Amino acid sequence: MASQQNSKLPKNAALVHTFLAKHGSPASAYEILDGLRGKGISAPPTIYRALDQLLARGLAHRVESLNAFVACDHPAHDDANGFAICQDCGSVREFTDPEVVSAVNALAKAQDFDVRHVTIELAGQCAACRDSGSEVSHG
């Protein structure tokens, strides 16, 4: 699916999307830049333009609390998503849930607030770290 999506993207956006999809964890713009220097990308503005294109198409997301980016795991979702972030291993799992979106929209309506974008971030411990007995860092 990623290669099919990438065929419709400008070259640099396709390179960034492939990098994010293979990276396996959130990556900062500078980590992406370091990973793509051998592919002809050598300037931060190039990475940011490519990320802007991916974000606009819903093919990537910014994980606000980490100031990092991930490839979208659910490209068919609307503009509401969430992330479960493990504070031990750093893994990030994207989730979508229509009931959560409905609840957020109801809260916004009760506040007479026009929601344009929703991102929910849960910080804690993934099952693998919990099963291994790892401790969550509180910071």
Tell me which fold the domain 80-131 belongs to. Dna Ligase; domain 1 (3.30.1490)
Cα–Cα nearest to 26, from 72, 74, 57, 66: 66
In tens digits, the chain (139 residues) has pLDDT values of 444 455 589 999 999 999 999 998 899 999 999 999 999 899 999 999 999 999 999 899 999 999 999 998 776 666 567 899 999 998 899 888 888 888 888 999 999 999 887 788 999 999 999 998 766 555 4
pLDDT value of position 81: 76
pTM: 0.80
**CATH number of the 2-71 domain:** 1.10.10.10
Task: Report domain extents, the chain.
Answer: 2-71, 80-131
Does residue 53 contact residue 13 with C-beta atoms inside 8 Å?
Answer: yes
| Residues pairing with 92 in the sheet | 85
